[in-house]
Amino acid sequence: MNPCRLPHLRGLAVLFLATVCSAAERGVQRAPFGTTPEGEPIESFTLTNARGAVAQIITYGATVSDLRMPDRTGQLASVLNPVVPPPLGTPASYANSAAVIGRVANRIAQGRFKLDGREVHVTTNSGPNHIHGGRRGFAKVNWTGAVVPSRNGPAVKLTYVSADGEEGYPGRLEVSVTYTLTPDNTLRIDYGATTDKPTPINLTNHAYFNLAGSGDVIGHEVVIYAKSYTPSDAALIPTGDIAPVAGTPLDFTQPALLGARFDRLPANRRYDHNFVIDRPTGDTSLRRAARVREAKSGRVMEVWTTEPGVQLYTSPLGAQPVADKPGFYCFETQHYPDSVNHANFPSTILRPGQRFSSTTEYRFAVEK
C-alpha cells in the first residue's frame, strides 16, 4: 500500500505526508518498460533530484538501469557501463548488470551447507558451486515497485516474495529494496527482509561502474578501506582465512590506478576479490568502503555501507565495449562469500522474528 494514498489520516499527518509525498512524487516518473522473458510487464521509475542527477530503476531484477551524474563542467553522463549483448534496452541486457543479487550473493561451495544440523542443497549454477542466488536469482525476477514518501529525495520501493524452496533455499522470504536519490547526488540503497524459517541472506547490487562514461577504467584511481581480504581457491571459493593485503596486488589502502597491477593478477588479469572493510567488530554503522576518482571528468564516487565486506570485480579483458582493457568495475557490498560454510565469518543466517536490514550508499561528487 502506498502511504501517500491512505484515506484515514487527518490533520497534521495529512499536511506532513502531503508535503513529503508531493516532493517525492515530483521527482519520480513512472512508465512502462517492456516485458520480461515470461511476458510480464516491466515498469521503470526515473528519479531526478534538484541538481539534475538521474537514476532509472526498473522492476526487472530491481535494477538500476541508468545513473547519470555531472562532471566538473556540469555535463551529465551515465556512470554505469551497460551490458552490450543482447540488444541494449531489452530486459535481458540488464539481467547481470546493476540488479539486486540474492537470495545469497556470490558463492556457496558445492551448493550446500548445514543449517541447524540439517544439510541444505541449493542450485549449482557455476560448475559444482552456487553463485548469485541460482539459475533464476533475484536479478531475473520481476519485482513490484511503488513510489514512497521520503524526506531525503525521490524514492522507489521494490518488493518480492521468494517462495519456500526457491532455488533450494528454506523459508518464505519477503524482501524489499528502496532506492533514494538524495539532493547531494547520493544513490542510497536500503535492503530489508523477513522470513518464516531460518535461511541465509546476502543481498548486493551488481552495478558496473565507469566514471568516465565510456572507454576503459584502467586510469581510475582507487582506494579501498580494507587492510585484509578473504583468500580463495581457483574457483573463487574462500579458504576461510583472512589475510593482509599488504604486499599483494590487492593493496589499495593508498590511492592506486586500477590497472597498475593487472600484470600481477592471475591469467585473466582481473579483480574478483572480497575485501574485509576496516571496522570494529560488531559495528554495523555506515562505513566508507571505497573511493574512486576519474581525473578527466573530475567525478568521484565513494562507497559507504553497513556490510562487513566489498567485492571488487573488474570486467575481463576483451569484454565489450573496450577490447583488451576492462571497461567497468563493481563494488559489491556484501557479507563474505560462502559465509554459510565458515563459522569464523560474520553470519548470514536470518531467523523468524528477526529483520534483515542493510544500507549502501554510492556518493558522487566532482573535483574541480
Q: Which residues are catalytic?
A: 206, 332
**Other beta carbons within 10 Å of 121:** 12
From residue 183, give the alpha-carbon distance in Å to each of 27, 151, 343. 11, 10, 41
Distance CA 274, CA 284 (A): 18
CA distance 354 to 18: 32
Q: Considering all CA atoms of the chain, what is the largest pairwise distance in Å, rounded to the nearest integer?
A: 66
**Residues composing the chain:** 368
Pairing of strands 329-334, 287-293: unpaired
Spatial separation of the C-alpha atoms in residues 285 and 318, rounded to whole Å:
38
Alpha-carbon gap, residue 208 to 268, rounded angstroms = 18
Please state, in angstroms and rounded to a whole number, the distance separating the CA atoms of residues 82 and 361: 20
> Strand locations in 206-355, DSSP E?
221-224, 228-229, 243-244, 256-257, 272-276, 287-293, 299-305, 309-314, 329-334, 349-350
List the end-to-end C-alpha distance of the chain, in Å, as a whole number: 44
103 with 137: CB under 8 angstroms? yes
Spatial CA neighbour of 56 closest among 29, 34, 87: 29
> Residue 14 in 3-state DSSP?
helix
Bridge partners of 46, per DSSP, are 29, 56
CA dist 368 and 356 (Å) reads 40
Residue 363 backbone phi and psi in degrees, to 5 = -100, 125
